[in-house]
């Protein structure tokens, strides 16, 4: 059985899809690919409906046959980065990596970190074992961690694994657990924060808790691990995966993360930098579990706090 997803796919329009735009229905069938990518494929004449080339806005009729021929993935124009990856697990389908703080997951807009991201490091490690989803041969980044967040991240090495993992993230069957240090004494010791998250209307570079009509449903569960002076060490389970979700949610209830430059408290951050040599947000992806795409077995991984965060906890307990 090939590890690559077939370049040609087809389906027959279901009753629930009748009357909908072609591009919208295609995204429902191929959720791992962006709508803009699918619209470009349609524009290039690679999609037919009942044997005819149509536009993205074409309204689908009953029992029409849709055929899409995906273009061959283009070679990636990124340089391999010789970086000593902390690989927790690896087989022919995927890798689980303990990402250090300070390493960005992928190059940003404007070619920032074009040569020194996790993607570049995976290119160096895996060579040609790359995912082709999205129209470009690239390491299969299925989910992300912020630059200064350390911890576990899973990477797909082929299209089969990429699609299967992406489906699990979409269905919210992947379990992700984080450890964070909050400013203040959070009570009760166990609880949940449910509040929609969207772009901050006052600053588009930030996220914020917004009105329901302007954001996406977001749910964060937590349990207190320890109270350390005027701070709270918590274990956090993400039930949704919004940008900056943990940082935004806890800041919104008055308990921002220690070291957070965007949603935290500058005075506290400076204190931790000077007193405990902490120069980043105290956030670590400690546990990750998912169903292996090939074996269908439940895989569970765990990694302890890195030295910089563990040192802070130990010093707070002594002080």
| Residue 105 near residue 83, CB atoms below 8 Å | no
Report residue 159 as tokens.
Answer: 């299209």
Q: How far apart are CA 254 and CA 183, in angstroms?
A: 8
Give the DSSP letter string of 237-287. Answer: EESS--TTHHHHHHHHTT-PBTT-TTTS-HHHHHHHHHHH---S--EEEEE
Report residue 44 as tokens.
Answer: 């290039």
| Residue 25 near residue 46, CB atoms below 8 Å | no
Inform me whether the pLDDT recorded for 65 exceeds 90: yes
* CA distances to 37, 142, 287, 305, 307 from 284, in Å: 33, 18, 9, 7, 11
Q: Mean of the per-residue pLDDT values for the chain?
A: 89
Q: How far apart are CA 83 and CA 75, in angstroms?
A: 21
Residue 78 pLDDT grade (very low, low, confident, very high; cuts 50, 70, 90): confident
Inform me whether the pLDDT recorded for 201 exceeds 60: yes
Write down how long the chain is: 319
Q: How far apart are CA 32 and CA 160, in angstroms?
A: 11
* CA distances to 21, 93, 142, 160 from 38, in Å: 12, 25, 18, 19
* CA distances to 179, 180, 207, 208, 257 from 202, in Å: 29, 27, 10, 10, 21
Phi, psi of 294 (to 5 degrees): -95, -50
Inform me whether the pLDDT recorded for 137 exceeds 60: no
Among candidate residues 146, 159, 260, 308, the one labeled active-site is: 146
Residue owning tokens 């699609």: 163
List domains and CATH numbers for the chain: 8-69 (3.10.290.10), 87-171 (3.30.2350.10), 175-318 (3.30.2350.10)
What integer pLDDT is reported at residue 31 of this predicted model? Answer: 65
Instruction: Label residue 127 exposed, middle or buried (CB < 10 Å: 0-12, 13-18, 19+).
Output: exposed
Q: How far apart are CA 16 and CA 213, in angstroms?
A: 25
Q: How far apart are CA 153 and CA 139, in angstroms?
A: 12
Residue 120 pLDDT grade (very low, low, confident, very high; cuts 50, 70, 90): confident
What integer pLDDT is reported at residue 174 of this predicted model? Answer: 96
Residue 2 pLDDT grade (very low, low, confident, very high; cuts 50, 70, 90): very low
**Is 146 an active-site residue?**
yes
More confident site: 161 or 260 = 260
Task: Say what the pTM is.
Answer: 0.77
Inform me whether the pLDDT recorded for 35 exceeds 80: no
Inform me whether the pLDDT recorded for 109 exceeds 70: no
């Amino acid at each position: 059985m090939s590890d690559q997803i077939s370049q040609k796919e087809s389906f027959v329009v279901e009753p629930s899809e009748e009357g909908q735009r072609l591009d919208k229905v295609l995204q429902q069938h191929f959720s791992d690919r962006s709508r803009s990518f699918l619209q470009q494929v349609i524009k290039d004449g690679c999609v037919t409906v009942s044997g005819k080339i149509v536009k993205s806005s074409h309204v689908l009729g009953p029992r029409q046959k849709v055929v899409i021929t995906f273009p061959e993935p283009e070679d990636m124009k990124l340089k391999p980065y010789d970086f000593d990856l902390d690989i927790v697990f690896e087989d022919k389908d995927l890798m689980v990596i303990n990402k250090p703080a300070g390493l960005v997951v992928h190059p940003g807009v404007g070619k920032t970190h074009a040569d020194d991201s996790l993607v570049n490091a995976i290119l160096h490690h895996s060579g040609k074992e790359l995912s082709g989803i999205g129209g470009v041969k690239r390491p299969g980044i299925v989910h992300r961690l912020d630059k200064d967040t350390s911890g576990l991240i899973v990477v797909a090495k082929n299209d089969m694994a990429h699609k299967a993992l992406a489906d699990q993230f979409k269905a919210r069957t992947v379990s992700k657990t984080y450890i964070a240090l909050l400013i203040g004494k959070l009570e009760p010791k166990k609880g949940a924060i449910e509040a929609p998250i969207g772009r901050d209307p006052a600053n588009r570079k930030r996220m914020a808790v917004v009105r329901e009509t302007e954001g996406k449903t977001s749910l964060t569960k937590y349990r207190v691990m320890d109270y350390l002076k005027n701070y709270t060490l918590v274990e956090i389970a993400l039930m949704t995966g919004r940008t900056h979700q943990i940082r935004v949610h806890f800041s919104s209830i008055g308990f921002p993360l220690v070291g957070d430059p965007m949603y935290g408290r500058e005075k506290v951050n400076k204190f931790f930098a000077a007193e405990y040599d902490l120069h980043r947000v105290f956030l670590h992806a400690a546990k990750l579990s998912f169903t292996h795409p090939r074996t269908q077995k439940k895989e569970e991984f765990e990694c302890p706090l890195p030295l910089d965060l563990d040192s802070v906890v130990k010093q707070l307990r002594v002080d």
